[in-house]
Amino acid sequence: MSKKFYITTPIYYVNARPHIGHAYTTIACDAVARRQRMLGADTFFLTGTDEHGQKIERAAQAAGKTPQEFTDEVSAQFRALWKRMGITNDDFIRTTEDRHKRRVQELFRRLRDNGHIYKGTYTGQYCVFDELYVDAVGPGAPCPECGRPTETVKEENYFFKLSSFQNRLLQLYNERPDFIRPETRRNEVMSFVRSGLRDLSISRSTFSWGIPVPDDPKHVIYVWLDALANYITAIGYGSSHEGAREAFQKYWPADLQMIGKEIVRFHCVYWPAFLMAAELPVPKSIVAHGWLLFEESKMSKSRGNIVRTETILDVLGADALRYFLLREVVFGQDGSFSFDALVQRYNADLANGLGNLASRTLTMITRYFRGEVPYPSAVVSQRAGDGAVAESARRVIAECSVLFDQYQFSRALEVAWSLVAAVDKYIVDNEPWALGEKQDEESRSRLATILYTSAEALRIVTALAHPVIPDATARIWAQLGLGDIRKFPLSELKWGQLQLGAKLGNVEPVFPRADKSAAERMQSMEEQQRSGSSTIEAQPETTLPIAAPTAAAVPVEKPPASVPDGKISIDDFAKIELRVGQVRTAEKVKGADKLLRLEVDLGTEVRQVVAGIAESYAPESLIGRKVVIVANLAPRKLRGLESNGMIVAASPEGGKAVLAGFLEDVPVGTRLK
| Pairing mode of beta strands 180-181, 4-8 | unpaired
C-beta of residue 246 within 8 angstroms of C-beta of residue 121: no
Q: Which stretch binds ligand ME8 (CB under 6 A): 20-28, 173-181, 182-190, 444-452?
A: 20-28
Residue 73 C-beta: closest distance to ligand ME8, Å: 15
CA distance 225 to 212: 12
Least distance to ligand ME8, CB of residue 557, Å: 35
Q: Do the strands 596-601 and 606-611 form a parallel or antiparallel pair, or are they unpaired? A: antiparallel
How many angstroms separate the CA atoms of 15 and 293, rounded? 20
SS (H, E, C) 371-384: CECCCCCCHHHCCH
Looking at 4-12, 514-522, 540-548, 653-661, which segment touches ligand ME8 (CB under 6 A)? 4-12
Instruction: Identify which of 291, 296, 298 has the alpha carbon closest to the alpha carbon of residue 334.
Output: 291
Choices 22-30, 387-395, 585-593, 631-639; region in contact with ligand ME8 by CB under 6 A: 22-30
Q: Select 12 or 477, whichever has its Cβ closest to ligand ME8.
A: 12
* CB 321 to ligand ME8: min, Å: 13
x/- letters, 118..137, toward ligand ME8 (CB under 6 A): --------------------
Tell me the closest approach of the beta carbon of residue 219 to ligand ME8, in angstroms: 20
Please give the residues from 296 up to 355 whose contact with ligand ME8 meets the rule CB under 6 A: 298-300
Alpha helices in 197-328 (DSSP H): 223-228, 230-233, 242-251, 264-265, 271-277, 309-315, 318-328
Give CA–CA dist 66/107, Å, rounded.
27
Subset of residues 168 to 227 that bind ligand ME8, contact rule: CB under 6 A: 227
Quote the CA–CA distance of 422 and 77 in Å, as a whole number: 42
Q: How many CB atoms lie within 10 A of CB 166?
A: 16
Residues 263-302 that bind ligand ME8 (CB under 6 A): 263, 291-292, 298-300
From CA 372, how far away is CA 379, in angstroms rounded? 21
If one asks whether residue 444 binds ligand ME8 (CB under 6 A), the answer comes out as no
Which CB, 22 or 626, lies closer to ligand ME8? Answer: 22
| Complex with ligand ME8: residue 49 or 644, whichever CB lies closer | 49
Burial 149-164 (b: 16+ CB within 10 A, else e): bbbebeeebbbbbbee
Q: List the one residue from 5, 6, 25, 610 that touches ligand ME8 (CB under 6 A).
A: 25
Contact between 667 and 563 (Cβ < 8 Å):
no
Q: Closest CB to ligand ME8 among 10 and 603?
A: 10
**Closer residue to ligand ME8 (CB): 227 or 647:** 227
Q: Which helix (H) or strand (E) holds 456?
A: helix 441-465
CB of 640 to ligand ME8, least distance (A): 22
Applying CB under 6 A, the span of 6-14, 97-105, 525-533, 597-605 interacting with ligand ME8 comes to 6-14
**Residue 165 is a binding residue for ligand ME8 (CB under 6 A):** no
With binding defined as CB under 6 A, does residue 27 bind ligand ME8? Answer: no
Residue list 87-106, contact with ligand ME8 (CB under 6 A): none
Task: List the beta strands (DSSP E) in 116-261.
Answer: 117-127, 132-134, 151-160, 180-181, 200-201, 203-204, 212-213, 216-221, 256-260
For residue 50, the minimal CB distance to ligand ME8 (Å) is: 3
**Segment near ligand ME8 (CB under 6 A), from 18-26, 318-326, 369-377, 481-489?**
18-26
Give the Cα separation of 238 and 104 in Å (integer). 8
Give the span between the Cα atoms of 522 and 308, in whole angstroms: 10
3-state SS track over 540-555 = CHHHCCCECCCCCCCC
Enumerate residues 581-600 that contact ligand ME8 by CB under 6 A: none
In whole angstroms, what is the distance from residue 250 CA to residue 281 CA? 12
Contact flag: residue 260 with ligand ME8 (CB under 6 A):
yes
Indicate which single residue of 7, 10, 197, 373 sits in contact with ligand ME8 (rule: CB under 6 A).
Answer: 10
Q: Is 24 in the site for ligand ME8 (CB under 6 A)?
A: yes
Judged by CB under 6 A, which of 31, 234, 259, 490 binds ligand ME8?
Answer: 259
What's the closest the beta carbon of residue 96 comes to ligand ME8, in angstroms?
13
Closer CB to ligand ME8, 17 or 245, in the complex: 17
Q: Which of 13, 70, 126, 346 binds ligand ME8 (CB under 6 A)?
A: 13
Q: How far is CA 566 from CA 558, 561, 562, in A?
A: 11, 12, 12
Round to whole Å and give the CA distance between 511 and 472: 8
State the binding string over 43-82 for ligand ME8 (x if CB under 6 A, else -). Answer: -------x--------------------------------
Concatenating the DSSP letter of every residue in 297-324 gives: EE--GGGT----HHHHHHHT-HHHHHHH
Residue 80 near residue 157, CB atoms below 8 Å:
no
- Compare residues 144 and 385 and give the one whose CB is closer to ligand ME8: 144
Alpha-carbon distances, residue 582 vs 142, 347, 624, 664 (angstroms): 11, 45, 6, 14
Report the residue count for the chain. 673
- Rounded CA separation 176/171 (Å): 8
Burial call 174-199: b when 16+ CB within 10 Å, e when fewer = eeeeebbbbeebbebbbeebeeebeb
Number of residues that bind ligand ME8 (CB under 6 A): 20
Q: How far is the CB of 658 from ligand ME8 (least distance, A)?
A: 37
Candidates 5, 6, 12, 129: give the one binding ligand ME8 (CB under 6 A). 12
The CB-of-287 to ligand ME8 minimum distance in angstroms stands at 11
Nearer to ligand ME8, 203 or 377 (CB): 203
Q: Which is nearer to ligand ME8, 221 or 397 (CB)?
A: 221
CB-nearer residue toward ligand ME8: 17 or 637:
17
The footprint of ligand ME8 (CB under 6 A) covers 10-13, 21-22, 24-25, 50, 227-228, 259-260, 262-263, 291-292, 298-300
